[in-house]
């Protein structure tokens, strides 16, 4: 959202942001706009949020309302904008299915539904959302941020590794759908071939304690390091041997974009929007979710062939630069806005 706001500013658009009280994005966005409105958001039944949002829209009088959040905003944003007679779009970032009747009712409120991957678009099509109402605009990242290269001495000192260690990175929230359990199960098989492998878990979430206990139970605490949430991924990623992402569901996977931009090969599941980033045999390997054997085989193939791993990394960097730049993301959203506003002008003539 911040990248989008910055890009829209450059195009002469004026942004106002409505966000959760005390959120990090509210503080960061204050450098981009003077209009930051922080509200409590308590979900689908929070009618007070709806009333406050309606007041903001009537005050700001935007040409378009763009909804990015869930927490009830995906429902109330559409309802309130309709009452305020304002054009409204929503970006959907997750690929988990909804009841078809619920999805049809909710997305009917919006002029357009923007998905960040073709995988998510297919989910909405399967729920009978009209294809003319859905536009795929992939998320973008600052590719230059992830091209600084690896400072091995810093990496080893910062995270406690030896220079000869082979480090596999896992960047994801500790929630069931990200598949951390399967990595803990697969780790002994990988270590039997490469005893110097270490697994770096980056992130936070409700399953952290449970996963740490599972590591202790399986005698994996010396091999799996929980490093928490980091703001220096651009320094860490280039020093990894590969990134492993066994998600059961995934809308797109920004961490995979970051890894690919850093020139790191990826082993990930064939779900959601992941195949749009990870091309089998080009910049990584794909396996079916839950298939431990396929995961282990893919990881070993890259650890055994460093030349192939390097080629995959270089190919991944080119894929991200070509298809997932911030400029492409901003231009894609602008095209949607302009189409909606042009349609509104045509409608007003009749």
Question: Could you give all domains of the chain from N- to C-terminal order, each with its CATH number?
Answer: 2-140+325-348 (3.40.50.2000), 143-323 (3.40.50.2000)
The torsion angle over the Cα atoms of residues 3, 251, 43 and 179, rounded to 10 degrees, is -120
Predicted pLDDT at 41 = 87
CB 280 within 8 A of CB 339: no
Q: Hey, what are 311's tokens?
A: 């080629």
C-alpha 41/C-alpha 222 separation (Å) is 41
Each residue of 327-345: pLDDT tens digit? 999 999 999 999 999 876 6
Nearest to 65 by CA among 50, 87, 83, 49: 87
Relative to beta strand 36-39, strand 17-20 is parallel
User: What value does the mean pLDDT of the chain take?
Assistant: 94
Model-level pTM?
0.88
- Rounded CA Rg of the chain: 22
Q: Count the Cβ atoms, other than its own, within 10 Å of residue 343.
A: 13
- Answer positive or negative: Cα dihedral of 314, 319, 320, 321: positive
Each residue of 202-257: pLDDT tens digit? 999 999 999 999 999 999 999 999 999 999 999 999 999 999 999 999 999 999 99
Q: Hey, what are 168's tokens?
A: 């596999």
């Amino acid at each position: 959202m911040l990248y989008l706001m910055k890009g829209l500013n450059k195009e002469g658009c004026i942004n106002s942001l409505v966000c959760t009280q005390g959120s990090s994005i509210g503080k960061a966005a204050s450098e981009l706009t003077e209009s930051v409105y922080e509200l409590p958001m308590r979900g689908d039944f929070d009618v007070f949020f709806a009333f406050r949002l309606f007041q903001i829209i009537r005050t700001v009088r935007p040409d378009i309302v763009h909804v990015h959040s869930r927490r009830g905003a995906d429902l109330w944003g559409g309802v309130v904008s309709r009452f305020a007679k304002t054009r409204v779009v929503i970006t959907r970032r997750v690929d988990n299915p909804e009841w078809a009747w619920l999805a049809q009712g909710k997305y009917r409120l919006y002029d357009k539904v923007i998905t960040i991957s073709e995988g998510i678009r297919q989910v909405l099509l399967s729920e009978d959302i009209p294809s003319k109402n859905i536009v795929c605009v992939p998320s973008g990242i600052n590719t230059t941020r992830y091209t600084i290269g690896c400072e091995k001495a810093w990496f080893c000192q910062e995270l406690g590794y030896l220079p000869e260690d082979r480090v596999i990175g896992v960047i994801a929230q500790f929630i069931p759908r990200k598949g951390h359990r399967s990595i803990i199960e697969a780790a002994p098989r990988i270590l039997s071939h490469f005893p110097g492998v270490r697994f770096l878990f980056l992130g936070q979430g409700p399953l952290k304690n449970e996963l740490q206990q599972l590591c202790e139970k399986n005698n994996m605490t010396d091999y799996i390091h929980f490093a928490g949430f980091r703001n220096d991924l651009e320094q860490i990623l280039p020093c990894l041997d590969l990134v492993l992402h066994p998600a059961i569901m995934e809308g797109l996977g920004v961490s995979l974009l970051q890894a690919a931009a850093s020139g790191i090969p990826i082993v990930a599941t064939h779900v959601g929007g992941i195949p749009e980033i990870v091309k089998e045999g080009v910049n990584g390997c794909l396996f079916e979710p839950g298939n431990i054997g396929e995961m282990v085989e893919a990881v070993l193939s890259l650890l055994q062939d460093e030349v192939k791993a390097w080629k995959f990394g270089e190919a991944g960097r080119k894929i991200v630069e070509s298809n997932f730049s911030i400029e492409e993301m901003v231009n894609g959203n602008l095209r949607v806005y302009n189409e909606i506003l042009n349609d509104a002008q045509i409608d007003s003539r009749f």
